Structure formats: structure tokens, C-alpha cells
Amino acid sequence: MTKGLLQSPELHKYLLETSVYPRESELLKELRAITANHPRFNMATASEAGQLIALLLKVGNAKKTIEIGVFTGYSLLLTALTIPDDGKITAIDLNRDAYEMGLPIIKKAGVEHKINFIQSQALSALDELLEDQSNRGSFDFAFVDADKCSYQKYHERLLQLVKIGGIIVYDNTLWFGTVAMPEESVPEARKPDRHHIIELNKFLAADSRIQISQVPLGDGITICRIL
């Protein structure tokens, strides 16, 4: 049993069993079950972070969203189930295979029509979106959960694509708690992305174009509201 970033596995289990799982859609549970067969199943967005993302989507009446990093589609399905029937998600991932693993559940949920899946490097897909002037300031919400070394580059593009008052959420901003560990205690495999996340966190904290809140749910998410 994982403890996420909380004090103990028991506390994490309590949070999930009390507030998250009883309200999680059966379709999202099915998607989690399918994802468990993927060798990299632990890449899926944490259910408790997903629950907060759904709340933010509702509070902001989000209709047009961007998702960078789809994998098997947990956060994508969650978004598709939350936005209105005529909402649209531009979902970008390099890899289509993992998306196709979750696609039968997306179809079963009847929300595939809300999704425009783009198989691409996220940076070039965002630059292409920016070429169309009508996309600028037109998105209500963005969720970023892909290569950590590019988050700052995504941030600059997303600030142009998401409207003022809109939300950008970055996932994994506490990077398994390693951001606060002395370098010598950090497992070697975590070091490169830890460095990128530390730089990102400093950058976001100093960026006067956004209001932020960093929340220790899942692996840490940073919520940015565009000013």
C-alpha cells in the first residue's frame, strides 16, 4: 500500500476509502483496473488528485481543455466525464498505444466525441495550436502530466492558449518527495526530473502572471490561475 506523500499508508488509505473511491465513477475504476496490466501502471494520475481536478473543472465551468500526457487516459476520461456534452479536449501524447488500451472505456462512457487525440510531441502540437489565432486565449483549462524537462516550455505556450482566469494544473510537482531531500539521498533514477521540478517550482512561485497553490495530493499538483 502506497502512502503517496502523506504521513502513513493508513492515512492515504483513509483518504481514498473515505472521500475518493466512494465517489469515483465505475468507468474510472474500470480504467484503473485495465491500466493495472500496463508495465508502467504507476504513471496514471492519482485518483485523489483526479478528484480535485474534476472539482476545478466544475468550478471554472471548463468546456475547452488541453491535456498534455494521456497515457491510458485516466485524467482524460475524468475530464471528459466532467465537462459538458459539447465540451472539447485537445489531448496530446507521443504514444497512441496506451491511449488505445483505455479507449474501449472512453467509448463505453459515450464521451469519445469530446476528445481530439493528437499523437505528437507536445511542444510542436502546442506551437501548431498557437499558429491559429482563434486558439489564443480560448482554452479554459490545461492539465500537464508529461516530460518534466519541458514543463516550463509548455507553460509559456499555455499562458497564450488558456484564457485569463483559466487554470493550468501541473502534476508531480513534489516528485516523490525528493524535492526536499538532500541530493545524496535521492535515488539516481529520480535525479534528472527532480532537478527540472525544483527549477519549475521556483519559476512558478516567482511568476507574476499567475496565482498558484501547490497541493500535496497524489505526487503533488500545482494549480495556476492565469491573471
Binding site for Ca ion (CB under 5 A): 145, 171-172
Question: Which of helix, strand or coil describes residue 114?
Answer: helix
Shortest Cβ 79–ligand SAM spacing (Å):
10
Interacting span for ligand SAM (CB under 6 A) from 39-47, 53-61, 161-169, 217-225: 39-47
Cell triple for residue 4? Answer: 503517496
Q: Judged by CB under 6 A, does residue 71 bind ligand SAM?
A: yes
Q: Which helix (H) or strand (E) holds 190?
A: none
Residues in the chain: 227
Neighbours of 178 (CB within 10 A): 19
Shortest Cβ 151–ligand SAM spacing (Å):
11
Neighbours of 25 (CB within 10 A): 14
Q: Judged by CB under 6 A, does residue 72 bind ligand SAM?
A: yes
The item of ligand SAM, Ca ion, none sharing an interface with residue 75, based on CB under 5 to 8 Å by kind, is: ligand SAM
Which is nearer to ligand SAM, 75 or 82 (by Cβ)? 75
The item of Ca ion, ligand SAM, none sharing an interface with residue 47, based on CB under 5 to 8 Å by kind, is: none
Which is nearer to ligand SAM, 152 or 227 (by Cβ)? 152
Neighbours of 31 (CB within 10 A): 25
Question: Which of helix, strand or coil describes residue 67?
Answer: strand
Q: DSSP secondary structure string, 125-139?
A: HHHHHHHSGGGTT-E
216's CB contacts (< 8 A; 6+ apart) are 5, 6, 174
Q: Judged by CB under 6 A, does residue 51 bind ligand SAM?
A: no
Q: Judged by CB under 6 A, does residue 147 bind ligand SAM?
A: yes
Q: Judged by CB under 6 A, does residue 54 bind ligand SAM?
A: no
Helices (H) and strands (E) in the chain, counts: 8, 7
Q: Judged by CB under 6 A, does residue 94 bind ligand SAM?
A: yes
Q: Judged by CB under 6 A, does residue 214 bind ligand SAM?
A: no
Burial 194-227 (b: 16+ CB within 10 A, else e): bbbbeebbeebeeeeebeeeebebbbbbbbbbbe
Interacting span for ligand SAM (CB under 6 A) from 92-100, 132-140, 186-194, 211-219: 92-100
Q: Judged by CB under 6 A, does residue 169 bind ligand SAM?
A: no
Q: Judged by CB under 6 A, does residue 220 bind ligand SAM?
A: no
Catalog residues that contact ligand SAM under the rule CB under 6 A.
Answer: 43-45, 69-72, 74-75, 92-95, 98, 121-122, 145-147, 150
